[in-house]
Chain A
């Protein structure tokens, strides 16, 4: 088994339907013709690697990384942690995990976000880290607020954190969102609903993790991520059919 073994084919049925009319923007941004499917090639089986030398000490602490530690962001202090695994259940070590989110009032630090909730002068909204040798990662941040968005007349995004994960192969590249246990807006959200299978959507909902919380300091939420795996066989690198 090497890093150049073929990737397991992506199970498209666990992913959102690209065309989901309740999420209006998807109507004109979804391909209408079938994807071209074939076995992965070196272009998908290799991928960029990022070392710890790229990262700063505060990169995974959104409470203080925007001010570089001079002042703290407003909001409910939380720790978000978990493991990155592949479909075989093996940890994915030394891979980059990036997150971004709204502030505690539900406002993004972005020119296009004009929601009434004020910007927090001490909150930027992005963070990144690299998984350890066991595929483990953690962030400190504040719980993002829910917010309204222009879709149907009264749509609200549940509280969520965006995740971007690399893995070790370009074909493993994934962006998703983490939701919070108990948020009633999840069931009303057309973006969450793009995941057709409710049991798959549940996998995007992080449970409150009291045992990893710290009294008088922060609550913890656990969020494990599974990336595509690689086929495990010695019958590779042979001429076709042999």
Chain B
């Protein structure tokens, strides 16, 4: 016998299901009047420091179909690489956004400020990125990934460096389509499968 560890076990995940919008963004789902507005409508307020950018993309299932029912959450640092809640953070950046795939096209849009590079705990520096969390019917545990940017120096990023198959790095890098606009498509399965994270 040994001493007990006294560690609890995390509650198991279950799929968010097809009606996740009712719980998380009810006004979007047509359940109006319960809350004044949905949570996480924008990660920034007017006056946020830095470059305002728009990221557009789709989430494709294993057949190549753009999912119409996914919900996403993003979390990011401000333009100086400081997370909301940390000392010196930009008060106009909440850093959190909830958004959904369009019910007709499947396309999502995130308008935010481009985050700065982030210092890790051991002197590591992470290239500018936005964390994403994706839930939907058929996804049994939320999928984590990151959006990096093709017009930033990603060469020393410790996470990207861990990806063995170098062509897969590309799945985490948003492509500039015009000034201030990026494309970031997510593929859940099969050819071009996005790198999903367990951090």
Contact = CB atoms under 8 A, between A and B. Distances in A.
Nearest to A58: B34
Nearest to A11: B10
A210 B138 CA distance: 35
Interface SS majority for chain A: loop
Contacts of A59: 34-35
B196 A35 contact: yes
A54 B39 contact: yes
Given A43-B126, A66-B33, A38 B162 contact: yes
Contact of B126 (A16, A41, A201): A41
Given A44-B199, A124-B31, A203-B11, A100 B23 contact: yes
Given A10-B198, A171-B199, A203-B11, A18 B23 contact: no
Nearest to B140: A16
A171 B135 CA distance: 14
A239 interface: yes
Interface string A132-172: 00000000000000000000000000000010100000110
A163 B171 CA distance: 30
A14 B124 CA distance: 31
B141 A37 contact: no
B9 A11 contact: yes
A120 interface: no
Interface residues of A, number: 92
A202 B146 CA distance: 33
B138 A35 contact: no
Interface in B9-67: 9-24, 26, 29-31, 33-36, 39-40, 61-63, 65, 67
Nearest to B89: A46
Contacts of A229: 7-8
A200 B12 contact: yes
Interface in A155-194: 162, 164, 170-171, 173-177, 191-192, 194
Given A16-B14, A36-B159, A42 B120 contact: yes
Contact of A18 (B123, B140, B190, B193): B140
A15 interface: yes
B13 A87 contact: no
Contacts of B163: 36
Interface string A104-117: 00001111110000
Interface in A209-237: 225-229, 236-237
Given A4-B121, A204-B12, A226-B11, A32 B198 contact: no
Nearest to A242: B122
A226 B40 CA distance: 24
Contacts of A176: 11-14
Contacts of A86: 8
A164 B14 contact: no
B142 A175 contact: yes
B119 interface: yes
A26 B35 contact: no
A33 B20 CA distance: 26
Given A38-B162, A48-B94, 16 more contacts: A10-B10, A29-B188, A35-B196, A36-B198, A42-B120, A56-B36, A88-B6, A108-B19, A110-B22, A162-B20, A170-B131, A173-B133, A175-B14, A191-B15, A195-B14, A226-B11
Interface of B: 6-24, 26, 29-31, 33-36, 39-40, 61-63, 65, 67, 69, 73, 75-77, 83-86, 94-96, 118-124, 126, 129, 131, 133, 135-144, 146, 158-159, 162-163, 188-190, 193-199
19 contacts: A14-B10, A15-B10, A16-B14, A16-B141, A23-B140, A29-B188, A31-B143, A31-B189, A36-B196, A42-B119, A42-B121, A47-B75, A47-B96, A54-B39, A100-B20, A100-B26, A110-B31, A175-B14, A236-B121
